[in-house]
Structure 1
Amino acid sequence: MSQISQQLIQVRKRIQLAADSAGRDPNLIRLLAVSKTKPLAAIQDAYDAGQRCFGESYAQEACTKIDSLRDQTGYADIEWHFIGPLQSNKSKQVAEHFDWVQSIDRDKLIERLSRQRPAQLAPLNICLQINISGESSKSGTSEQEIFRLAQLVNQSERLVLRGLMAIPQHTQDHDILAQQMLRMQALFTRLAQQYPTVDTLSMGMTEDLDLAILHGSTIVRVGTAIFGARDYP
């Protein structure tokens, strides 16, 4: 068994334990393997271990990987999520290659993705990203803008509003993290009451996934604990 396979088992066990502690069904929490900067072989290794949902942040790198796997037999059931900040000039690539975009935070991206999504593909699943910590270094819209953007997505012919995404503050202060996650959970609940397609709260990474699951996360985005530390160019 490969190291990636072993680490996937450990992450899945951690999700199971966190769900049990929160009194939630672990089958309702999806694991998104964040494969950005990782080679194609690492994705194939995780796929062989049963992983089907992968997250990427860099459009050019991701589209090269997606095209490479689509040219091979046996990878058609991978679900690709774009989770990084999206530049307008990369939106066409993302619209043509991905199944989900979790990092929508402005009107222009909504308009471009809806227009650029190929008609032969299923509508693109959209999560709105909130800068819940208010940090200037992070992407994401404000809590006040969410419901206006949600209406725009909902009115877009080639998009489906699925929920919210956030990257809470990187801190060891449990109370700060819990407060931000509680606010996300409340926003998600309000949005789901308004739109029947909303079923996704993408929150929690390697360091804080347990707390995120406690606060209602339905997708946890894990990279380091599966693939190891990243080597950025």
Structure 2
Amino acid sequence: MSTIAENIAKVRARIREAAHASGRDFAAVGLLAVSKTQSADAVRQAHAEGVRYFGENYLQEALAKQDELSDLDLIWHFIGPIQSNKTKLIAENFQWVHSVDRLKVAERLAAQRPAHLPALNVCLQVNVSGEASKSGCTPQELPALAQAVTQLPQLKLRGLMTIPEPTEDAAEQHAAFARLRALRDNLQLDLDTLSMGMSHDLEAAIAEGATWVRVGTALFGARDYGPR
């Protein structure tokens, strides 16, 4: 097996073990392969191992990759910060957006989603750790934002996403993910998605109810952040 194939097998085993340990169905946890800075060939290799869902942070890189891989049945998720001048291309070219954190962006995505396409699946990004450097609405802002987004055409609010402050402390990992789950439950909306957990903390995220884990390094290896 190639390195990517071996890595995918290892990550799937981790997901399966974490789901089993927490009494959850393995099939309820989606593997979102974070392919930012990775080549189209790397995505093709992952697809050959049955990976279908790919997350991208950088719009122009993602669009080039989508064009090169148009022969494959891939589902593209936008997971990076969203600039207002990028919403049209995101609305036209992705099936999911995990990083909506303000109403202006949601309104633009709704207005710019082509009418012939299904509603765009969106998650609201919440800054559960209160880090100034992180995107995301505050927990206090979330209820009003969620209510407003549910009223927008061509968007389907699926759930919440977070990128908590990195820590190796398992208790702190669990606490951050539990906060996001509680925020979703307290909204009392019909939401089925928690996008949380990455290569280093996916076990804690799964234990707390993650339905998407966003895994890059553990699948593809270290990223190359060269000139873009």
Please give the TM-score of this superposition, normalised by the length of structure 2: 0.97
Give the structure 2 partner of residue 230 of structure 1: 223
Alignment check: 8 A CA contact 1:110 1:152 kept: no
Deviation sequence 1:151-191 (CA, Å, 0-9, x none): 12111111000000001111122332222111111112223
Cα separation, 2, equivalents of 1:99 and 1:222: 18
Please say if 1:195 is aligned against 2:189: yes
- How many Å apart are 1:54 and its aligned residue? 0.3
Cα separation, 2, equivalents of 1:112 and 1:122: 16
Give the structure 2 partner of residue 143 of structure 1: 139
| Map 1:1-233 → 2, pairs under 5 A | 1-70=1-70, 73=71, 75=72, 77-191=73-187, 194-196=188-190, 198-233=191-226
Structure 2: which amino acid aligns with 1:200?
T
Of 175-184 and 104-113, the range deviating more from structure 2: 175-184
Moved over 4 A (4+): none
- How many Å apart are 1:14 and its aligned residue? 0.4
Structure 2: which amino acid aligns with 1:216?
G
Alignment check: 8 A CA contact 1:80 1:98 kept: yes
Cα separation, 2, equivalents of 1:40 and 1:79: 14
Cα separation, 1, equivalents of 2:6 and 2:169: 30
Q: Secondary structure at the match of 1:134?
A: coil
- How many Å apart are 1:105 and its aligned residue? 0.4
- How many Å apart are 1:216 and its aligned residue? 0.7
RMSD: 0.9
Cα separation, 1, equivalents of 2:49 and 2:168: 32
Q: Secondary structure at the match of 2:131?
A: coil
Cα separation, 1, equivalents of 2:175 and 2:11: 24
Cα separation, 2, equivalents of 1:174 and 1:45: 32
- Aligned pairs, how many? 226
Of 93-102 and 169-178, the range deviating more from structure 2: 169-178
Structure 2: which amino acid aligns with 1:61?
E
Deviation sequence 1:173-210 (CA, Å, 0-9, x none): 2332222111111112223xx322x1000000000000
Q: Percent identity?
A: 54
Deviation sequence 1:68-88 (CA, Å, 0-9, x none): 222xx3x1x311100010111
- How many Å apart are 1:32 and its aligned residue? 0.2
Please give the TM-score of this superposition, normalised by the length of structure 1: 0.95
Alignment check: 8 A CA contact 1:204 1:220 kept: yes
Alignment check: 8 A CA contact 1:80 1:99 kept: yes
